[in-house]
Amino acid sequence: MKYSGILSTIWLITVSLCVELDLDDLDSVCEAASSVVWGELNYYEGFKYGGTVGMFSTPYYWWHAGEAFGGLVDYYAFCQKGNDTFEKFLIDGMFHQAGEDYNYIPSNQSLTEGNDDQGVWGMAIMEAAERNISQPSKDHSWISLTQAVYNTMNARWDDAHCGGGLRWQIFTWNSGYDYKNTISNGLLFHLAARLARYLDNETYVETAERVWNWMHDVGFYNRDGDDLTIFDGAKIGDNCSDVTTLKWSYSYGVFLSGCAYLYNYTEDATWKERALEIIHVAQNYFVASGYMSEATCAPSNRCNNDQRSFRSLYSRCLGVTTVLIPETKEVLNDYLTKSAEGAAQSCSGGSDGVTCGEDWSYSGWDGVYGLGEQMSALEVILANVQTEFSAPLSVQSGGNNASDSEAGLNTQDHTNTKQLDITSKDKAGAGVLTAVVLAIILGGSIWMIL
């Protein structure tokens, strides 16, 4: 959806009038971030009459809400600290979606939720723990909720196919159940790394190592010199031997920052080397004219709603990496500052004047809009304000210690076979939806090959 050149020119003038981003000045950063957040919350259902708390408007899925809340927690920590109204909005939204069993598998999302969706919510609530957001209830802390996500995901580890790994889907009826994907496994790795550091518990390091080694055995990443290239996944039918080699920024993000948490916690130099190898590929691939770009689909304008949001998680992960491995700050500095400046100047569109665009190298707003554009702009801006003073908390540095290593394990949701009372019509609907998404991904990749 591109507007005409004349409109773009008008937007360009608006930009120079209203967006001044000085990344060295926190007030300036927060001013830019706050207008982006304002645009983002236009999509929030929870403020609307009869809307569901914790959800964003269609066509955005449940997982997008988890993605959004993670960034909003950071926005709170950097720009709204002490604003009880804002904190309450975060707590209500995130806790409302915890589901009946407090494991982020709400039964009414069982036609859409995969391991990756649950894991992205896990990132948000772990962020809440690490940023000292007030606890949601006396029985549940953010850290115990994260453990429930971790435990239920980890229990789905499937040795029966491809030598291990998580499948994409949790539920048998969703298509993609026969696919093992990198992002689901990456999120298990990522959450394990964060829990290890937060709780000072080596057992989680062992899980992270198991995932990392399996990813290698199955060929989901490839190592060549200083490069570590991460691919999308494979079907279990032929024992995961036919790897889909598409590259997505958020997969790089969750593995990279997972390595950074592990390095920061264990001080084992191997994790730092791995982090640097991932950065080497990431910042040379996810880039266009020096600005961060979802390179697998953006140049051909083929990114779907999901893909248009990936840079938000990617940016969040890059930001925290610069804190956990301080020497990566310099390596990532130009990439992050240029991208943030490009993103900020793109946030000048739409009828509200705070709508962000997709192409950050474009002067002004490029006419593309959505929740993904808002989230990505917000997080790349915030990735630049991280310092050692904003290092994620751990119990040792004062984080809440109400952990529960058994959380989630008493429920049935961690099995792959939980039967819910849904009609076959619903099942068919879910299948068609996933098929459409797959068709778009595959269509996109075929187009790229041509």
Ligand X SMILES: *[C@@H]1O[C@H](CO)[C@@H](O)[C@H](O)[C@H]1NC(C)=O
Q: Is there binding between residue 242 and ligand X (CB under 6 A)? A: no
Q: Within 13 Å of residue 390, how many CA atoms lie on the same side as its CB? A: 22
Closest contact distance (angstroms) between CB of 104 and ligand X is: 10
Distance of CA 449 to the CA centre of its chain: 27
Q: Is there binding between residue 85 and ligand X (CB under 6 A)? A: yes
Among positions 147-206, residues that touch ligand X (CB under 6 A) are 162-163, 201, 203
Closest contact distance (angstroms) between CB of 335 and ligand X is: 19
Q: Is there binding between residue 42 and ligand X (CB under 6 A)? A: no
Chosen residue from 20, 217, 226, 242 binding ligand X by CB under 6 A: 217
Q: Measured between alpha carbons, how far is residue 414 from residues 115, 146, 196, 324, 409 in Å?
A: 10, 14, 21, 31, 7
Structural contact between residues 348 and 19, judged by C-beta atoms closer than 8 angstroms: yes
Q: Is 63 helix (H, G, I), strand (E, B) or coil?
A: helix
Q: Is there binding between residue 83 and ligand X (CB under 6 A)? A: yes
CA 240, 227, 307, 185 torsion: positive or negative? positive
Closest contact distance (angstroms) between CB of 15 and ligand X is: 24
Structural contact between residues 72 and 94, judged by C-beta atoms closer than 8 angstroms: no
Stretch that binds ligand X, among 15-23, 229-237, 317-325, 414-422 (CB under 6 A): 317-325
Chosen residue from 333, 401, 410, 412 binding ligand X by CB under 6 A: 401
Chosen residue from 55, 259, 298, 320 binding ligand X by CB under 6 A: 55
CB nearer ligand X, residue 95 or residue 360: 95
Closest contact distance (angstroms) between CB of 190 and ligand X is: 16
Chosen residue from 22, 38, 48, 134 binding ligand X by CB under 6 A: 134
**Count of residues near ligand X by CB under 6 A:** 33
Q: Is there binding between residue 378 and ligand X (CB under 6 A)? A: no
CB atoms within 10 A of CB 25: 12
Q: Is there binding between residue 267 and ligand X (CB under 6 A)? A: yes
Beta strands in 182-252 (DSSP E): 221-224, 227-230, 233-235
Q: Measured between alpha carbons, how far is residue 352 from residues 14, 39, 43, 292, 347 in Å?
A: 12, 7, 13, 25, 10
Does residue 161 come out as left (phi exceeding 0), alpha (psi in the -120 to 50 range) or beta?
beta
Q: How far apart are CA 147 and CA 123, in angstroms?
A: 11
Footprint of ligand X (CB under 6 A)? 52, 55, 80, 83, 85-86, 89, 96, 99, 106, 108, 132, 134, 162-163, 201, 203, 217-218, 239-240, 264, 267, 323-326, 388, 391, 393, 398, 401, 405
